[in-house]
Structure 1
Amino acid sequence: MIRYDVADAVATITLDRPDAMNSLTVEVKLALLYALRRAAGDRAVRAVLLTGSGRAFCAGQDLREHAGNLEEGRGLANTLREHYNPIVELITTMAKPVVAAVNGVAVGAGASLAFACDLRVASDRAKFAMAFAGIGLAPDSGASWTLQRLVGRGRAAEMMLLGEPLDAARALELGLVTRVVPADDVLKTANELAVRLASGPTLAYAATKRALAYAATHALPDTLAMEADIQDMCVATVDHGNATRAFLAKEVPTFNAE
């Protein structure tokens, strides 16, 4: 259902329902949220890698479970507020970089999970689709916020209204993914990127995520003030002092602050 592994200070969280294209049941969503909270709270983890098993990254909500809820008159059974929203908010606000290894199709809420991550490495076989409108729903899991910030409002509207799949090459062209690699290399490449981030300045990365989120919804004067506050915090860290001394000594800096 969910696999959780830690190596080289990277927590790898794998959606593991390959026969169901890693679609999301209540059980999977609860396990995913638990795994993300575990990674966020583990001082030995400095970066997170999110991926799927088999041929899909994540096909989104498990529609068989959803159909059962509809038959019982429960609709989405408050799963947005209880499951999807906390998952996406934790990914976007986690004080550690989160990398998605998009190994295959990412549809609906599954695509939203990838969009919430800080960086996305995609297989050349990956496809992204906003499938919500096709089943009479509006976008959720943060897609209306994340997607337009990645590709612009016009492209986001096109993907959401038309629901047409986007292949990996087009996703790279639009800036939706960080890089595209052969399918056999996607997990290796994403892990190398996550390990690189794990050895970097975690506090500065967390501050960067905060600054980007704040600037997305505030005017320039407010953003400048926020940047000054955040930079004051970063300047006072051991990481900054050590890195400055290493730079002057022409040495490679080591980042250890948590």
Structure 2
Amino acid sequence: MRIDAAEAPTLPDKITGALELTSSRLRSLSAGDFVDRRLFGPSVHLLNSQGKMLRPALVLLGALALGEDPYGYVDLAAALELLHTSSLIHDDLIDGDSKRRGTEAVHVKYGNDAAILAGDALMSKAIILSSQYGTEVISEISKSAMDMCAGEMLDSYCQKSTAAPTLAAYLRIASLKSASLIGVSASSVAVHRKNRLAPRLHAFGIDCGIAFQIRDDVLERVDGARAKLHRKEPNFVSVLRERDGLGEEGAMLKAVELNLKYIARAKKAIGGQRMTLLRSYADSICLCTT
């Protein structure tokens, strides 16, 4: 069976330029940004091998959809990526994963204590960067961080349990752990501008986040090299396999169906011409096809 990810859309120059500036902002962190310079290395370790920049892109695309200048939200985009990176550092430590983005996990290279503190430092830096956008934005970001902690705790208990979680239970884990920050990324500019579309953009982001996690779980099973590194259960494929008594291939096909359902829900939340680019981006980052 062949399962592929969708191709990325061509982004407007304003978005690609603002994304490049966001990357530059992240790379500009220096030892002087940390009270104890020993925190610098573990804090920027994963930033030096940047991932998909999904969350910054959603911040900037959300700004453009609302008629705002994306360049005015580079610091907010950087803050969301810092918070995401913080969660990856802690997640790798909790799960005992040794690799991330093709390099050593932070706790492997620098030790557990440094990894915990680096994650905390990046979270604090994210709050500092986002503070210029007002207390409501900080509140939404902080709620998302609380959600991620709750999702991580639920996921940890599920991994230790001998009973497979229900699909509803695992959807809740994904919503809290993975999708919460994506929801805030999509809606943060609307929250800052007190725009009435904020709840719809947040719902769009949550459903995108769930679809993205399903896609990641499916593609991980297809990619043998990734599967060896991250053969963690439960995941969406294993949950569907247990629920429906399916083989591996049948469970993956069911997961693809679920992926398509959540993408459709996400796109339905944000109708209208000015949201076209956001809907196209949802397909590119979330869709897996057979």
TM-score, normalised by the number of residues in structure 1:
0.23
Larger fraction in helix:
2
**Which structure's relative contact order is higher, taking Cα pairs within 8 Å and 6+ residues apart?**
2
TM-score, normalised by the number of residues in structure 2:
0.22
Larger fraction in strand:
1
